[in-house]
A and B are shown apart, each in its own frame.
Chain A
């Protein structure tokens, strides 16, 4: 069972949350001029990353608020969670944090 750190409520059980796919996909602004290819890419195509994944969650059975998370999709380990609107954490730094964590030299939050 995963433990997830809600940025508002703290650490809670996974069953209180639901996942909602990749984060930081901005809706195109020039919608009137988009062609089918651009629309399709925005709506359907995803990075589906093996490794670091930036994603959206909601704390359904808690504060009911949305937040973002970065998780390692190989181990399911949460590296960080943050509020919507906050900038996406740097991938390089998180990768470092992940390799430190697997070699046992650092504590990873939200796990």
Chain B
């Protein structure tokens, strides 16, 4: 694979961009792989990448039923942060943040990671107590966080209306937080994995498992049976469906989560703004569109579209906070199916089936952990034992009671 560089940009420009290499192959599946990853979202592709890159496991396939990143990876609002309350969460999300900070160089692919800062707003005494508790916990875990008063917030965001219906009382800022380009993350990992020999097989749905004596031996797909030494299942909203094929149940509910973008305008907000209290989150893309995240529906659905009232619920607080935005037209709106756990923490775990591992439960907020999740999951699959940073996120916690209850700390949807 030829690396991307300024030189390659110039050279290909001169030849009218006709000679760019394809970023990855589209091979026919082999009969057998050491590891099969189900799901070509960011987490699955990152897992394959780190398996090949760091664990020396290169006989790997990623099997995707649609196209790369067509699931939640290509549908999210791209917010990246690591300011979680609990130690286990700090461990995994900060691990991801450190990988983000060098990711474009590592992949030789511009993932447009932009640490523009992420500001949580507080609108009530309760909100102030919540950010106070969380901000201090984050600080004790050695992760950056700062408290802002309303004047400091106004300075950062001149267009904000502090005296809205629920006046802004303060904020919690993570300067290292920000956004990244979601498609580029999937493509960058795919290109890197392919270069090391990983087969990426798109338009191929897994329809069942070959399980013998409680041990997985392969996956049945729309392109036939593919043998596997180990299998990693990374299918987000469809995790319960795949688990059912393998004969076990998951502590998950799959619900629609929506987002919308506006017409592009000149730069108006240069950080990510989130409010748990009135429930809205917004950032501005490099193209100038406002990217707005809505809430999730309370009912289980695989329909990949949410209900209309959720849109109204997010646009209301948005125009309260930023009256200027009331003039903007929203251009696109879509939904993704997110797999939510009761404690709002992910699952990285062994399963009742030997050599079948599962990575799911990222729900409304797993994009930010794509590098960390893939990295830890790859090491866990290669070792056959969960990595110490991943171990607390086992499915067993729902039976032992050792929940990682981030619900209160991250009630907002991303």
Could you tell me which A residues sit within 8 Å of B by CB distance? 1-2, 14-15, 18-21, 36-37, 39-41, 43-50, 53, 55, 71, 73-76
Interface residues on B, range: 20 to 34
Q: Which 9 A-B pairs have the closest CB atoms?
A: A40-B399, A48-B240, A19-B299, A44-B251, A44-B398, A19-B298, A45-B249, A40-B398, A50-B302
Closest to A35 in B: B399
Known: A1-B307, A73-B302. A48 touches B253 (CB 8 A): yes
A31 CB to nearest B CB, Å? 15
Please indicate the chain A residues that have their CB under 8 angstroms from the CB of B342 in the complex. Answer: 44
Chain B 331-344 per-residue mask, 1 if CB under 8 angstroms from chain A, else 0: 00000000000100
Which single residue of chain A is at the shortest CB-CB distance from B305? A76
**Are A55's CB and B307's CB within 8 A?**
no
CB distance from A39 to the nearest CB of B (A): 8
Give every chain A residue within 8 A of B302 (Cβ-Cβ): 50, 73-74
| Bound CA span A15–B401, Å | 34
Known: A40-B399, A48-B253. A75 touches B303 (CB 8 A): yes
Known A36-B399, A48-B254, A73-B303: A15·B309 in contact at CB below 8 Å? yes
Q: List 16 A-B contacts (CB under 8 A).
A: A1-B307, A1-B308, A14-B309, A15-B309, A40-B251, A44-B251, A44-B342, A46-B250, A46-B251, A46-B252, A47-B249, A48-B250, A48-B253, A50-B241, A50-B302, A53-B300
**A46 with B298, Cβ < 8 A, contacts A1-B307, A73-B303, A76-B303 known:** no
Tell me the dominant secondary structure on chain A's binding face.
mixed
**B115 adjacent to chain A (CB < 8 Å):** no
What residues of chain B have their CB less than 8 Å away from a CB belonging to chain A?
238, 240-241, 244, 249-254, 297-303, 307-309, 342, 398-401
Task: Tell me how far the C-beta of B152 lies from the nearest C-beta in chain A, rounded to whole angstroms.
Answer: 38
**Residue ID in chain A nearest B343 by CB atoms:** A44
* B249 / chain A contacts, CB cutoff of 8 Å: 41, 45-47
Bound CA–CA A55/B309 (angstroms)? 21
Chain A residues in 8 Å Cβ range of B401: 36, 40
A1 CA / B253 CA spacing, docked (Å): 21
Assembly CA distance A43 to B254 (angstroms): 17
Interchain nearest-CB distance for B393 vs A (Å): 14
> Who on chain B is nearest to A2 by CB?
B307
Give the distance in Å from the alpha carbon of A7 to the alpha carbon of B314 in the complex. Answer: 31
What separation, in Å, do the CA atoms of A41 and B253 have in the docked complex?
14
The listed residue with most A CB atoms (<10 A of its CB), out of B253, B254, B399, is B399
Q: Say whether B250 contacts A74, CB under 8 Å.
A: no
Contact B300 A48 (CB under 8 A): yes
Contacts of A1 in B (CB 8 A): 307-309
For A21, give the chain B residue with the smallest CB separation.
B253
Q: Measured between alpha carbons, how far is A29 from B250 in the docked complex, in Å? A: 23
A71 to B301, CA, bound (A): 9
Please pick, from B251, B301, B398, the residue contacting A76 in the complex, using a CB distance under 8 A: B301
